[in-house]
A and B are shown apart, each in its own frame.
Chain A
Amino acid sequence: MGRYIVRRLLQLVPVFIGTTFLIYWLVWSVPGDPFAGKCGDRPCPDNYIQVMTEKFNLDQPLYVQYFTYMQNLLQGDFGETFGGRSINDLIAAAYPNTIKLAFVALAVEALIGLTAGVLTGLRRNGFLDNLVLVSTLFLIALPTFVTGFFLQYLFGVQWGIIKPTVSNPPSFTELLIPGFVLGSVSMAYVARLARTSIAENRSADYVRTAIAKGLPMRRVVGVHLLRNSLIPVITYLGTDLGALMGGAIVTEGIFGINGIGREVYRAIVTKEGATVVSIVVILVLVYLVMNLLVDMLYALLDPRIRYE
């Protein structure tokens, strides 16, 4: 197990270098001169463009820019935006909010999704099963911004129960609705995944054996059935955290959450390579680490899985 983890951690290094370079290159090849549209409907003065080009090494070839960036990054310095703000500060301010939001969303989808999945998986074709099927179909069909605007209008404007936009830094209660919006589609998937998995394993040999042994139903479901059925669900939830963090841009915009979504969007549009890479690098790391955790959870859930 130890060697396995070390090997997996070492794999992170080439993945890390590869992704950062790819992203840097992609941003660099986005068409458009970063200073062409900066001064509105007139060209920027020469001296401004000169000072900026020199400061950000924009006249250097791509690989030189990338190496300068990596050199600073290894010293813990993410660099500066074109506006002169430190990217370290920016990340420190924005990331915690996005992480908070992603975890609320994850909690919502795990709690509601799993409960619905387990209940319907055990009692198929009942009223509850049909209700969950229809409502998850509905949620999957709705894009996030529709759910977002609708709930914001209903709770924030019409009923006045919540503030339409959150304060900074947002509290967990304020993030409940945004978290629900962000997690709603995944929640539907989790419910359906759990339902299928439970229903399938319900008729498996080991479950029948457990029931035949006379184990109480609670134990059969809680220990034997659930543990085995959770593997696909955990895989989904684990990788979904990364997707939730990266995909929060719409939700963050609707509820005015100061997260990374806005910064990534702004940086891509203005061709600020350093900002995009810095933010995405952390996302990549989260993604890789979550994958590793999920893989290790398999071994805990299913004794048959061993890592060498």
Chain B
Amino acid sequence: MRVSKRARLVATTAAVALVAAGCSGGGDSDTDNAGGDTANGAITIDGTQPEVGLVPASTTETGGGKIIDFMWTGLVTYPNDGSAPKNAVAESIKTTDSKVYTIALKQGTKFHDGTEVKAKNFVDAWNWAAYSPNGAQNSSFFSDIAGFTDVNTPDPDDDGPKKAPEPKAKTMSGLKVVDDYNFTVTLATPFSIFPTKLGYSAYMPLPDVFFTQKPEEFGKKPIGNGPVKFVSWTDNVEIKLTRFDEYTLDDKVKIKDVTVKMYQEDTAAYADLQSGNLDFQQQIPVSALAGDKWKTDLGDRALNVPIPSTGIIAFPIYDARFKNADLRRAVSLAINRQEITDKIFFGARTPADSWANPLTPGNQKGNCTVCKFDPEGAKAALAKAGGFTGEMVLYYNADASHKEWMEAVAQSVKNVLGINIRAEGIPTFAVFRQGINAKQMKGPYRAGWQQDYPDVENWIGPLYVTGGSSNDGSYSNPQVDALYKEGTASTDVEAAHAKFAEAVKLIDQDVPTIPVYFSNQQSGTSDKVKNVNTSNVGEIDLSSVEIA
């Protein structure tokens, strides 16, 4: 029974492929006729319950982030292949000094409530997000803008009884509305990559009605400006979206209805996918990846796509034992990345060979010279560092599947260097992060970085510049800081990337962290849909979906 079902499936997909190929010269309408009714099509995709209401600046987790990405279109969008951003709501973004940006909007784009998207919708939304009493999780994204420190006051004693003082101002001085379709942004210091950041969900515009109600209420019935609009939300069950017919930008969706079904277990979603009750699953469960079972189950409905995310092991450089760069290099050179990706991840991830992700604009392939497996070099580096005494413990959070690869890393290092090293799990991600945030880690620890926006800057600034938002290991190199600053201050992106490449060369010498693998995402579709693409972060690209 199973065999015949699959045979039928292969036959249908083959037929679709043939028809599609035959029609490729004849225009799109023919393919539509050959396939199903795309214009009235409805699909179901998997998701998880958003943790908080759907307000772009308050959402940082993937469950809600996905819905926000569907429902909103920013000033710029990121192409699926990870290349440099393109203007979306923005008509143009101009600057002469990388400090003052003049942003012009396309006229006639609309929110789902019918009001037009105007300059003040951006300015008001950004001011709201940055104002600290509003408690937006993404507020730090606005810290580049002049006047941010006047609206966002930190807790004076970091954590505790004393309350943060009321901010001096309610709006940032760097934001000025010129007219309905133009506004200017003045940054505190020049930052060449600023336009690239603008596609991140924190920078989405908010309709006027947002400011007349409580954010929580808005978050339950959000109004965006993207290709699909909100219909309903049943907690823990589903969120329904439908096509916004007045959408005027390029990424219009062809299908009509989208249901995001929320699952507790990815295995339940996978059973639904196999039986045709789910049309897209973003990440196939680990249990189905073993032995490539998912490829046999799904055939050509299996999608393996790279995503801009890297698995990293970070050093607590604040600990005296890890201050020596040669020691860090020795550990990095002793890791057999190829074997780990083959044996632990069944080839579903690729060995890291550069400091940024290969999908990131500005990344230089192979610029991580310490990412190769070089036992002799490792031993030499360890000797140069004067050896390592005591026990090195690698930490990971045990509530996700990191045990296997972290233990494999420890084993690989032990085999090559002969030092006393092991991997140890910390029960939950919260406890794990608490130790990292408090800079109390006693050994190298697992980290992961998925870029917020596609530029190599996002792989340097937050991670390796002194005081960077995710520079948890307290790495600091004045030369890297200087080069980074020159890069961000330059007036064009090419020049900036050249400076960043120089900074990476220094980072490569210092080995503040160890890139281990590049992530891939394993997704699956049903036989009801075709042409499914994924976005630059691996979410389904709704505009690509057609009914087969």
Contacts and interface: CB of A to CB of B under 8 A. Distances in A.
Interface of A: 31-34, 36-52, 59, 82-85, 89-90, 93-94, 149, 152-153, 156-160, 163-165, 168, 252-256, 258, 261-263, 269-271
B52 A168 contact: no
Contacts of A50: 132, 135, 155, 163-164
B161 A46 contact: no
B235 A85 contact: yes
Q: Which of B163, B263, B430, B449 lies at the interface centre, i.e. has the most chain A CB atoms within 10 A of its CB?
A: B430
B216 interface: yes
Contact of A164 (B158, B271, B434): B271
Interface stretch (B90-98, B120-128, B136-144, B379-387): B136-144
Nearest to B277: A163
Given A48-B136, A254-B265, A258-B237, A36 B437 contact: yes
A51 B136 CA distance: 9
B447 A255 contact: no
B201 interface: no
B53 interface: yes
B139 A48 contact: yes
Contacts of B132: 46-47, 50
Nearest to B448: A41
A158 B271 CA distance: 10
A94 to B, nearest CB: 7
A42 B430 contact: no
Nearest to B50: A83
Interface string B37-64: 0000000000000111100000011000
B375 to A, nearest CB: 30
Contacts of A36: 430-431, 433-434, 437
A93 to B, nearest CB: 6
B152 interface: yes
A84 B216 CA distance: 7
A256 B263 contact: yes
Contact of B469 (A42, A85, A153, A160): A42
Contact of A90 (B235, B430, B469): B235
Interface string B151-167: 01111001111011000
Given A39-B60, A52-B135, A84-B216, A168 B267 contact: no
Contacts of A153: 271
B520 interface: no
Contacts of A48: 135-137, 139
B339 interface: no
A107 to B, nearest CB: 24
A37 B264 contact: no
A258 B430 contact: no
11 contacts: A33-B430, A36-B433, A37-B430, A38-B51, A39-B137, A45-B137, A48-B136, A84-B219, A163-B275, A164-B274, A256-B261
Given A36-B434, A82-B51, A84-B219, A41 B470 contact: yes
B418 interface: no
Q: Which of A84, A94, A253, A271 lies at the interface centre, i.e. has the most chain B CB atoms within 10 A of its CB?
A: A84
A93 B269 CA distance: 21
B53 A165 contact: no
B2 interface: yes
Nearest to A168: B237
Contacts of A94: 236
A38 B161 CA distance: 22
Contacts of A31: 427-428, 431
B106 to A, nearest CB: 31
Contacts of A262: 236, 264
Contacts of B154: 46-47
A252 B236 CA distance: 12
Nearest to B52: A83
A269 B428 contact: yes
Contact of B431 (A32, A52, A93): A32
Contacts of B320: none
Contact of B140 (A45, A252, A255, A269): A45
B60 to A, nearest CB: 5
A266 B472 CA distance: 27
